[in-house]
Structure 1
Amino acid sequence: MTEQLPRRSGDHDTQRSAVAGRTAPDCLPWPALITMTVAVFVVVSGEMMPTAVLPQLATGLDVSLARAGLLVSAWALTVVVASFPLVRVTARVPRPTIIAGALLVAAIATVVTATTSDYPVAMASRLVAAAATGLLWSTINAHTAAIVPAGQIGRATAVVLFGGTLGTVAAIPAGNAIAPWIGWRAPFLALAVLTLMAAAAIVLVLRHHPIRREAGAGEIGTGARGRLRGLGPVLVTAALGGSLLVGHFIAFTFVAELLQPSSVPTPVLLLIFGLVGGGGVLLVGATTDRYPAAVPIVLAAAMMLSLVGLMLLGRSTVADLGVVLVWGVAVGGLGPAIQARMMRLAGTKHRTTAGTLMPVAMNLGIAAGSAVGSGVLEGASLEALAPVALIPTVLALLGFTVLAGAARGGTDRSGRLIHNRPTREPEIR
């Protein structure tokens, strides 16, 4: 008879986590992740498509370029306002149903946009699509984290958000290229068809990939004091990510003008910026699971250096290319790095809330950065944009550094704060 040694209470969890860690690369639900990548691709393309066809769209709706541009800025504001109420209303609906339903609504609204000649109708349809997209972002963020092993959240997030990069570097230039030939409505109609196809794919694919960890039911409606205690680090991370976007969009809103001093043609620099942004997504996906607190610091530092480089643009072709390369990688990796960090800090209890905070903080950062940049350009000069953009960027860098230092004294290996409790591996529930 073989004597069995007594087993400590934590052995089972440790063994289970070790097994999960060894098999994590083989356990990623690739069909689900790729399907959600397509969903992100179509919603990002839908958000930005007016910028690609703005002159033709303004003519078709018989409005000025400025009024046509409001179709983009109003979208961002709607996402900020509508996300939390819609998440509350749909709290008990299965996530795949929410994602598919949001895509269906966005597709119908896009058809309305493409077929109307009335500006108020176009604006109303854009607001409906934006509200649906805000709900989709909130849900898809949480669902991505819930269907993958704990140690692979960053990698899965990068895969899904790569769809946004594809929308920026592929769909938007394509829309811009074909609009002068066949009109601005065709890209919107094509996008509506793709969105319907994405909704169907979500229904067919996601049901075969159940969640591993369920976010707390009804978490949006729990007590405010307890919710804030649990969400403190998540809120700080969201605010710091938004601060980085403020700095980025103070400069990037007027990027064509800022790049003029370079001897490299501006379209070439912008193409490089978009392409290396995809590389930033992949780089973050490969590193953020191992270094969840360090990656945001590195990205913030890279963005700070690129803004300093903008002040010196035009002195060296090689340096100009380096500035754009570093800037593009930093901005491309920002979204997946911040989202993965927030999901880790939130744990399972607050994951849905964290998923909702992400698009709200990001869209606030975009809107605020664009507004501040416009104010600086009007009240000062083009040369003042980069120095002003450095302010929120440096603040975010300092904030991420402080947050990482605080977390080092009380986190588990997933990056979740544990407030000096004994460290252990995250459980797969």
Structure 2
Amino acid sequence: MKTPELPWPSLLVLGGTTLLMVTAEMLPTTVLTPMSIGLGVAESSTGMLVSLWAAVVVVASFPLVRLVRDRDRRTVVAGATVVLAASSALTALAPAYGVAVGARLLGAAAVGLLWATVNAHVADLVPDRHLARAVAVVLGGATLGMVLGTPLARLVADTAGWRAAFWALAALTAVAAVAVRLVVAPARTQQGTTTAAGGQAPAARGHGMAPLLAVTGLVALALVGHYGAYTYITRIAEAPAAILPGGTGSLLLVFGLASAVGVALAGRFGERTAPALTAATTATALTVAGLAIDSGAAFGVLAVAAWGVASGALPPLAQTLILRLAGPERRAFAGALIPVLFNGGIAVGAALFSALVAGAGVGAVPVPAALVVAVAAIGLALAAGRRRAARPSTPAAVPSA
């Protein structure tokens, strides 16, 4: 019997877990006002729960990965998902702001470990030629967390209160932990892949630390520009949003759905990840720059949609290339590097462009943000060229077993 190209049950369960992870991260912003009233604090304090979350992910990912490096990854994912469920339940029960902060810090640490472990396990579930598709499937869940997870959580909060939204999230996350343990398959052999003849074919190796760190740094730079602009999307795109039924909410939905399209497209590039990443980064720079052009509201909506597609493709392509450059021998390190990279990009981009907005206004954001992303795109193109030049010529192919 022919085996499926991808382990769909495992990937779908892991994708569902990432949906809940993103929903957990962003939920305080979704229920900002009622949660602030319930805890007796200003809305700025509740918003800080998201910033603290990102900071903990950056700080905690590497130490936690090192702590559990000898454990079965499925056990780590299931256990961290249980901790995330407990974090949501404790937030729902929180009688005061300090308790909510502690619960959120616990959840952030769990999510840092989850991202790192899920990233590494996905790469060990599939052969290298299917890595881009597998990553796109799992990150599709994260995208749905923004498009569906947070709006549904807001609906629950409007119906039954903000604490009910956290209780619902806790229950679903607990179910996900059970599904991970029952459904997700163990990793394939990490040091080699069994051939048809029963022997061992050497596993794909990485390319050394220098290319890995170079690509990581350039992707981080691109994310600084992207998230710097995205932080102010509702202000930058006020005029385009005005022509849509539902206004800003509809525009954000357009962006989210376009991002999902970008994630799906990223999975179709197979082993052509490096040029696709360069193209997606270049397109992100161009579309962000397009937001500075005053060509009417309809053009603005199209620019936001194109930005969503380009920036949606960027994370799965970047993650695939980083895992591919790391190879099996550095997979755990790369898995931890990815959440640090993305959360660091969010934090730095938001901070830098907040300072810019304070001094020059929102209208000054698109062009500098696009320039930052464009510099990253040029660097990625040059890095890809150096890797091609350094690649040894391959002798005549050896027939496979």
Q: Distance in 2 between matches of 1:105 and 1:321?
A: 40
Aligned partner of 2:135 in structure 1 is 157
Contact preservation (8 Å) 2:85, 2:171: yes
**Partner AA of 2:118 in structure 1:** I
Please state how far the C-alpha of 1:155 moved relative to its aligned partner: 0.4
Aligned partner of 1:367 in structure 2 is 347
Where does 1:183-198 land on structure 2 (aligned, <5 Å)? 183-198=161-176
Please state how far the C-alpha of 1:403 moved relative to its aligned partner: 1.0
Aligned partner of 2:113 in structure 1 is 135
- Percent identical among aligned pairs is 39
SS of corresponding position for 1:27: coil
Aligned partner of 2:200 in structure 1 is none
Please state how far the C-alpha of 1:391 moved relative to its aligned partner: 2.9
State how many pairs are aligned.
382
- Which of 52, 75, 98 in structure 1 is aligned with 2:76? 98
Please state how far the C-alpha of 1:176 moved relative to its aligned partner: 2.0
Where does 1:11-410 land on structure 2 (aligned, <5 Å)? 26-206=4-184, 208-214=185-191, 230-262=208-240, 263-264=242-243, 265-287=247-269, 289-313=270-294, 315-410=295-390
Deviation larger for 140-149 or 386-395: 386-395
Please state how far the C-alpha of 1:118 moved relative to its aligned partner: 1.0
Contact preservation (8 Å) 1:146, 1:214: no
Q: Distance in 2 between matches of 1:229 and 1:165?
A: 30
Cα 1:80–1:214 change in 2 (3 A) is farther
Q: Distance in 1 between matches of 2:236 and 2:297?
A: 15
Q: Distance in 2 between matches of 1:188 and 1:340?
A: 32
**Partner AA of 1:211 in structure 2:** R
Q: Which runs of 4+ in 1 moved over 6 A?
A: 423-426
Cα 1:63–1:35 change in 2 (3 A) is same
Q: TM-score, normalised by structure 1?
A: 0.85
Q: 1:89-111, CA deviations, whole angstroms, 9 ceiling, x for partnerless residues?
A: 10100100110010011111110
Q: Distance in 2 between matches of 1:230 and 1:190?
A: 44
Contact preservation (8 Å) 1:29, 1:209: no
**Partner AA of 2:322 in structure 1:** M
Please state how far the C-alpha of 1:67 moved relative to its aligned partner: 0.6
Q: Distance in 2 between matches of 1:230 and 1:180?
A: 51
- In structure 2, stretches of 5+ residues that fail to align are 193-205
Q: Distance in 1 between matches of 2:261 and 2:338?
A: 21
Contact preservation (8 Å) 2:74, 2:186: no
SS of corresponding position for 2:238: coil
Q: 1:178-213, CA deviations, whole angstroms, 9 ceiling, x for partnerless residues?
A: 32332111111111111111110111112x444242
Cα 1:178–1:193 change in 2 (3 A) is closer
Contact preservation (8 Å) 1:147, 1:211: yes
Cα 1:142–1:424 change in 2 (3 A) is farther
- In structure 1, stretches of 5+ residues that fail to align are 1-22, 216-227, 412-419
SS of corresponding position for 1:293: helix
Q: 1:309-337, CA deviations, whole angstroms, 9 ceiling, x for partnerless residues?
A: 11014x23432222011100112111111
Q: Distance in 2 between matches of 1:183 and 1:238?
A: 41
Please state how far the C-alpha of 1:27 moved relative to its aligned partner: 2.7
Contact preservation (8 Å) 2:222, 2:376: yes
Cα 1:105–1:421 change in 2 (3 A) is farther
Contact preservation (8 Å) 1:145, 1:343: yes
Contact preservation (8 Å) 2:207, 2:325: no
Contact preservation (8 Å) 2:326, 2:334: yes
SS of corresponding position for 2:208: helix
Contact preservation (8 Å) 2:281, 2:311: no
Please state how far the C-alpha of 1:390 moved relative to its aligned partner: 2.0
Q: Distance in 2 between matches of 1:55 and 1:159?
A: 33
Q: TM-score, normalised by structure 2?
A: 0.91
